[in-house]
Amino acid sequence: MRPALVLLALLAALPLQAKRIYSYTDENGVVHFSDSKPKDAAVPVKEQLVDVDPTQRVLLRESGPKDDRRYSLWNGYGGPVEVLISFESQSNVISEPPLPTSVVIPGERTTPVLTVQPLDPRLGWAYQFQYRYVPGNPAAQHNEQAVYRLPYDGNSAVHVHQAFGGKFSHTAAENYHAVDFALDIGTPIYAARGGVVMSVERDFHEAGTDMRRFGDRANHIRIVHDDGTMAVYAHLELESALVGVGDTVRVGQHIANSGNTGFSSGPHLHFVVQRNAGGALVSVPFQFTVNGKRVTPTEGAVLGGLLLESE
């Protein structure tokens, strides 16, 4: 009997993103559409932003005969992810490894994760399983001596609008130790610490304070450091990312521009350092090195230039 198979990914619903679509009408009245700007059109070209599905970075692959099903996962992130797998229901089946389980998949690699077989092939059998994934390796431990430069031009004095434990949006564990800098749209953003680009979102164009609508719609870059922690630079300007998945980034490298996308009440940069605490992301405290001094960011402080203290 062929098993009833349902794959349930326990992930937040993937948001729609914006993409530029170009169109023009030729001399025969035919309308042409393209995702790249036509270079040889003899008539005016219209440009608009449309919603498209984002790239799915972790993909399930299935193989093998029906009584020996093999499952692998492709990790399209530029760094490791932890995948947690469990049965939703099972009848007369055996799996290898036994579920529940978790596995760490290296970046940009396909890894076998599960084999399912009937315990007694003479009887009916069925199963459902679910998986979810979390960026990062759960073995990562933050290097408290790591140096973080300001993620913008250090000669500019910039206000900290929200710091660790900010009441507006820094209450959950994954963002508790985040910092929001008041930066105009288009301000160059630099890597605060070197590493490898894990993921890039660059096609969002809207912002607002409706969490349901905008909570997952911030353009951002995630960079994994040599200790396994990850820096996230969020609310970036539309299509401003200058790096791609798998790129090695040096400290101080221009990676994108500040913007106002996603859950945001105004232009700013959201910066946070996270680690995978074993099935969940948590943020970690850190200090910036400003004018040769290690500084803990606080709400209302001015960082950069010659100013270090609250105004």
pLDDT of residue 4: 30
Q: CA triplet 266, 272, 275: central angle to 5 degrees?
A: 150
Q: Does residue 211 sit in helix, strand or coil?
A: helix
pLDDT of residue 159: 94
Q: In the chain, which stretches have pLDDT less than 50? A: 1-17, 52, 307-311
Q: Provide the CATH number for the domain formed by 158-303 in this structure.
A: 2.70.70.10
Sequence-ordered list of residues with C-beta below 8 angstroms from that of 236, at least 6 positions apart, any chain: 189, 202, 218, 219, 220, 221, 256, 257, 258, 259, 261, 269
pTM of the model: 0.83
pLDDT of residue 41: 65
Neighbours of 97 (CB within 10 A): 12
Q: CA triplet 259, 264, 265: central angle to 5 degrees?
A: 105
> What is the token pair recorded at 302?
């001015």
Dihedral of CA atoms 163, 169, 172, 177 in degrees, nearest 10, equals: -10
> What is the token pair recorded at 51?
């919603």
Q: Break the chain into its structural domains and give their ranges.
A: 7-11+55-135, 17-52, 158-303
**How many angstroms separate the Cα of 148 from the Cα of each of 58, 192, 227, 273, 283?**
30, 5, 13, 10, 15
List, for residues 86-128, the tens digit of each pLDDT value: 999 999 999 999 999 999 999 999 999 999 999 999 999 999 9
Homologous superfamily of domain range 7-11+55-135: Immunoglobulins (2.60.40.10)
pLDDT of residue 70: 97
> Of 228, 224, 207, 225, nearest to 216 (Cα)?
207
pLDDT of residue 46: 73
